[in-house]
């Protein structure tokens, strides 16, 4: 079946090239090729029996709307630098690759079986149960752990707690394998988006030491445990759980009532490490090393190293990896004195993600991260220029970024969650600067704790004050009625119409005013 589809794609492309040669001389080869790739994907979209409801009704309309709008804009308005054409080519190829990858079947037998695996995530505990992600090992040999060959990823669930089990551990056990059916629950869809095909209820787990880069993960785990211990020691509860969450990305310790408030307001993203935090970290390191006298190439190379290390330390949601990769690629372009076209940079990073894990398109966080970034890059500077004459400069930056991101994430929020919180646009204007200050104070608290305890305690108390202020603001915003609008999932025409109107209006006004580059492209 897969080969038949590939053959159909090839026939469509060849037919289109013949059309190009004999009847469409006003199209460039790149434009025609991009159009053909999109239509090849559309055929798979309408004919494949394996695509489920989520794909057909939520993901495909969003992406194909975005691609088709880009192509129409290229053909009608003839962009001078053809940014949207490049985006269409890259995203179309990535989406085509994801389609082919999705159609491949797994042959691992279901039921109880012996397995060997390596733990690739932190071990999470709840009551007397634990769960963690693994890569299954082919032809396991206990004495040759450094030369293991891996196959599928799986989520292992056990009814016991195993001391010494951590990221990097090589294990064996008996487990019942179940295919992750993403149609059954949102959690299964989340697992599928991470490339996980199997859920394993395991028992009789035996730990065989560590393999590969386990030393790095062991040191990361020790550092996280040290941060947790320091937070609990000098910062009051529940403020300590919040500080630990924004430093490490682990929000399991935060009380459920607090996460509920953040979720109602639409500011839950500040509890999970995202591109926002990477932008804060990069800005802090740039300021620090500029004070120390570093300039230009040396400055950005050093900051890139720390941003990369921070990304590996966190362990990486899609938004963290996206922000880190964009920053590093932007630095490389700066060093080589190349024009930093941030829209093309977003497209290239998107391609890297698709090549690494095409199923990322099933992850709402992944979609929100890229669409929010695109909105900020494309619209924020135009909105800022409109507000400059009415509001102070710093406030216009916050408003323009929040509004631009909300405009482009609006249809995704509706498609996945059935609602859109308008309060979050206002709340983020006040909460994001406070979060940046809390992150700075938290880093200072942890850094000086081993050196000068009294000063660390003082900074921790100041940090706790701003955390209290943040909690209070979220509580106030959570009582603003109504907290959000609720919608039914829009049809394909509705999503297409939305993106058409937004993109073409933005294009018209931005081109008319000749808007400059975006304000803060890393976030």
Predicted local confidence at residue 91, as pLDDT: 54
Q: Which residue has the higher pLDDT, 240 or 57?
A: 240
Predicted local confidence at residue 87, as pLDDT: 53
3-state helix/strand/coil string of 224-244:
HHHHHHHHHHHCCCCHHHHHH
Predicted local confidence at residue 159, as pLDDT: 82
Q: pLDDT for 471-513, tens place per residue?
A: 999 888 887 765 555 555 555 455 556 666 776 677 666 666 5
Beta strand ranges found along 330-459 (DSSP E): 419-420
Predicted local confidence at residue 43, as pLDDT: 47
Strand partners, 176: 112, 201
- CATH placement of domain 111-212: 2.40.50.140
| CA–CA gap between residue 135 and residue 188 (Å, rounded) | 17
Predicted local confidence at residue 53, as pLDDT: 42
Strand partners, 156: 132, 200
Give the confidence band of 7 by pLDDT, cuts at 50, 70, 90.
very low
Tokens linked to 106 = 């797994």
Percent of the chain with pLDDT over 70: 63
pLDDT at 206 over 70: yes
Beta strand ranges found along 377-467 (DSSP E): 419-420
Predicted local confidence at residue 401, as pLDDT: 84
Q: pLDDT for 79-124, tens place per residue?
A: 444 555 555 555 555 555 554 454 444 455 556 677 888 887 778 7
Inter-CA distances, 124 with 25, 162, 207, 232, 337, Å: 60, 11, 17, 19, 45
Q: pLDDT for 142-189, tens place per residue?
A: 555 444 455 678 888 888 777 777 777 888 888 888 877 766 677 777
pLDDT at 515 over 90: no
- Output DSSP code: residue 58: I
Q: Which range has the top average pLDDT, 26-40, 193-207, 408-422, 460-474?
A: 460-474
Mean predicted confidence (pLDDT) in 209-237: 80
In 27-165, alpha helices (H): 29-47, 53-54, 60-77, 83-102
pLDDT at 404 over 80: yes
| CA–CA gap between residue 214 and residue 267 (Å, rounded) | 34
Around 482, how many Cα atoms within 13 Å sit in the side-chain half-sphere?
A: 6
| CA–CA gap between residue 8 and residue 17 (Å, rounded) | 14
Predicted local confidence at residue 210, as pLDDT: 67
Tokens linked to 486 = 């609720």
Domain range summary for the chain, segments of one domain joined by +: 2-102, 111-212, 363-420+490-523
pLDDT at 445 over 60: yes
Q: What is the mean pLDDT of the chain?
A: 71
pLDDT at 457 over 80: yes
Mean predicted confidence (pLDDT) in 203-212: 73
Q: pLDDT for 411-443, tens place per residue?
A: 777 777 767 777 777 888 888 888 889 988 999
| CA–CA gap between residue 110 and residue 115 (Å, rounded) | 12
**H or E, element range at 373:** helix 364-387
Q: Which phi and psi (to 5°) does residue 358 adopt?
A: -60, -25
Predicted local confidence at residue 460, as pLDDT: 92
Q: Quick one: CA torsion of 501, 502, 507, 510, rounded to 10 degrees?
A: 130
10-25 per-residue burial string, b: 16 or more CB within 10 A, e: under 16: eeebeebeeebeeeee
Give the confidence band of 464 by pLDDT, cuts at 50, 70, 90.
very high
pLDDT at 462 over 90: yes
Provide CB contacts within 8 A for 66, sequence distance 6+. 91, 499
Q: pLDDT for 256-301, tens place per residue?
A: 888 888 888 878 778 777 777 788 888 888 888 888 877 777 888 8
Provide CB contacts within 8 A for 369, sequence distance 6+. 274, 275, 318, 319, 322
Q: Which range has the top average pLDDT, 80-89, 104-113, 316-325, 449-458?
A: 449-458
CB 96 within 8 A of CB 37: yes
Mean predicted confidence (pLDDT) in 329-347: 72
CB 108 within 8 A of CB 198: yes
pLDDT at 41 over 60: no
Percent of the chain with pLDDT over 90: 7
pLDDT at 216 over 80: no
pLDDT at 10 over 60: no
């Amino acid at each position: 079946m897969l080969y038949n589809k590939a053959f159909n794609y090839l026939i469509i492309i060849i037919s289109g090239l013949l059309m190009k040669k004999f009847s469409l001389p006003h199209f460039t080869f790149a434009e025609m090729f991009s159009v053909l790739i999109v239509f090849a994907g559309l055929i798979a979209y309408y004919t494949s029996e394996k695509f489920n409801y989520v794909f057909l009704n939520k993901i495909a309309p969003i992406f194909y709307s975005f691609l088709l709008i880009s192509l129409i804009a290229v053909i009608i308005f003839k962009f001078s630098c053809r940014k949207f054409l490049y985006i269409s080519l890259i995203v179309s190829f990535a989406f085509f690759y994801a389609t082919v990858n999705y159609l491949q079947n797994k042959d691992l037998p279901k039921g109880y079986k012996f397995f060997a695996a390596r733990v690739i995530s932190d071990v999470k505990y709840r009551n007397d149960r634990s769960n963690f992600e693994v890569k299954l090992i082919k032809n396991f040999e206990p004495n040759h752990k450094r030369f293991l060959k891996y196959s599928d990823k799986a989520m292992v669930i056990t009814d016991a707690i195993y001391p010494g089990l951590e990221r990097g551990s090589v294990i064996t056990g008996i487990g019942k394998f179940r295919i992750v059916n993403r149609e059954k629950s949102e959690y299964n869809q989340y697992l599928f988006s991470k490339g996980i095909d199997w859920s394993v209820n395991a028992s009789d787990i035996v730990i065989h030491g560590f393999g590969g880069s386990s030393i790095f993960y062991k040191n990361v785990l020790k550092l996280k445990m040290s941060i947790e211990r320091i937070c609990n020691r000098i910062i009051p509860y529940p403020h300590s759980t919040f500080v630990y969450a924004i430093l490490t990305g682990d929000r399991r310790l935060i009380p459920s009532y607090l996460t509920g408030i953040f979720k109602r307001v639409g500011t839950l993203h500040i509890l999970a490490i995202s591109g926002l935090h990477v932008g804060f970290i990069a800005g802090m390191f740039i300021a620090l090393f500029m004070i120390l006298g570093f300039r230009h190439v040396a400055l950005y190379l050093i900051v890139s190293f720390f941003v990369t290390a921070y990304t590996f330390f966190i362990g990486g949601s899609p938004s963290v990896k996206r922000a880190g990769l964009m920053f590093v690629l932007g630095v490389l372009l700066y060093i080589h004195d190349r024009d930093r076209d941030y829209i093309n940079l977003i497209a290239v990073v998107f391609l890297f993600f698709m090549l690494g894990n095409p199923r990322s398109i099933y992850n709402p966080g992944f979609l929100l991260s890229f669409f929010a970034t695109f909105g900020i890059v494309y619209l924020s500077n135009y909105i800022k220029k409109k507000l400059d004459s009415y509001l102070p400069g710093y406030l216009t930056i916050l408003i323009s970024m929040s509004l631009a991101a909300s405009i482009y994430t609006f249809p995704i929020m509706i498609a996945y969650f059935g609602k859109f919180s308008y309060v979050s646009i206002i709340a983020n204007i006040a909460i994001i600067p406070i979060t940046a200050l809390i992150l700075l104070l938290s880093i200072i608290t942890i850094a000086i704790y081993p050196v000068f305890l009294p000063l660390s305690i003082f900074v921790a108390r100041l940090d706790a004050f701003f955390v209290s202020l943040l909690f209070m603001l979220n509580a106030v915003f959570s009582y603003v009625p109504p907290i959000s609008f609720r919608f039914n999932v829009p049809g394909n025409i509705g999503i297409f119409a939305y993106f058409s109107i937004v993109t073409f209006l933005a294009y018209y006004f931005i081109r008319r005013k000749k808007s400059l580059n975006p304000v803060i492209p890393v976030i």
